[in-house]
Structure 1
Amino acid sequence: MQDADKGTELKLDGTHLRVGIVQARFNAALTDKLAESCKTELLALGVTERHIRHVTVPGALEVPIALQAMADSGDYEALVALGCIIRGETYHFELVANESGAGVTRISLDHQIPIANAILTVENEAQAWARAEEKGRDAGRVAVEMALLLKELQ
């Protein structure tokens, strides 16, 4: 990853960070892949296993309330939202996608805590599988990068 302003490689060290992960169980095979990739990346960046708290909730609409409880605790420097919403034949897709996304953003802003949002919103299962590993990895990296940035800015 390069810093766009400086054209240099960012050295991310998550050694002293505590990260909370909230994973929706709906579409579990896909969200399990997201979680596996995210945790692998967090560990690679130095976040210790004991500083990663991973919880699951029924679906994407329940992700924000668990994130809020984690943010309220003050125990984390960054959070990660994992889920997978696949378009169906009804308006429900838009409702779940919009409301879960808005909830995640609101909690991040209200609590001034970075939340890497890796709730996939896709047209079909094939699109989800094509993105799951990379997006999980990206979420771990974004969580560490933003936690370090906020520490620097405060």
Structure 2
Amino acid sequence: MIGAEKGHAAIADGSDLRIAIVQARFNESITNSLAAACLQELAALGVQADQVLHVTVAGALEVPVVLQTLAEREEFDALIALGCIIRGETYHFELVANESGAGVSRVSLDYNIPIANAILTTENLEQAIARQTEKGQDAARVAVETAQLIAQLS
């Protein structure tokens, strides 16, 4: 939700983290904006550009399998899923939204790796445009904060 009360956390330092981003190309103008905001925020959090792997896939349904492949490599402290699913006139929206979301969660739990899920699910293009920057930034913050917390708890 735009402008939601997200609480306050200490400013995260991502300078020692390695992060991978999987971006769906479907609705590419939105996902490119998500990625740009995410990458900018990762840099602001101290994550070095050479410590970020950014790959693209066709759509939201392909994101989980690539996240799984990256998790299996055991090279990353956190992963980020970026995509945009806009409701259409058929049930396909629900299938893609539900299956991609479930796949992202399953990979995170199966491989014990934080995954910031910024696959937008919106009713229309206007809602997606309104969320693209904030959700890209949120994904970066969530990835860094959660990776640091897991490292502290381990």
Same fold per superposition (TM over 0.5): yes
- Structure 2 unmatched ranges of 5 or more: none
The letter of the residue matching 1:72 is E
Which whole-Å CA distance do the structure 1 matches of 2:61 and 2:83 have between them? 9
Q: Which residue of 1 aligns with 2:27?
A: 27
Runs of 4+ with deviation above 6 angstroms: none
1:26 aligned counterpart, secondary structure:
coil
Deviation at 1:108, TM superposition (A): 0.2
Contact 1:3 1:10 in 2 (8 A): no
1:88 aligns with 2:70: no
Contact 1:3 1:9 in 2 (8 A): no
1:73 aligns with 2:73: yes
Contact 1:25 1:31 in 2 (8 A): yes
- How many residues of Structure 1 are paired with residues of Structure 2 in the alignment? 150
- Aligned counterparts, 1:46-125, within 5 A: 46-125=46-125
The letter of the residue matching 1:148 is Q
- Aligned counterparts, 1:111-150, within 5 A: 111-150=111-150
Which whole-Å CA distance do the structure 1 matches of 2:31 and 2:25 have between them? 7
2:26 aligned counterpart, secondary structure:
coil
Which whole-Å CA distance do the structure 2 matches of 1:93 and 1:9 have between them? 34
Identical counterparts, % of pairs: 61
2:23 aligned counterpart, secondary structure:
strand
CA RMSD for the aligned pairs?
A: 1.4
Deviation at 1:11, TM superposition (A): 2.3
- Structure 1 unmatched ranges of 5 or more: none
- Structure 1 residues 3 and 128, CA gap change in structure 2 (3 angstroms): closer
TM-score norm. by structure 1 comes to: 0.95
Which whole-Å CA distance do the structure 1 matches of 2:115 and 2:43 have between them? 17
Deviation at 1:153, TM superposition (A): 0.6
Deviation at 1:3, TM superposition (A): 9.4
**Deviation string for 1:37-64 (max 9, x for gaps)?**
0000000000000000000000000000
TM-score norm. by structure 2 comes to: 0.95
Contact 1:38 1:136 in 2 (8 A): yes
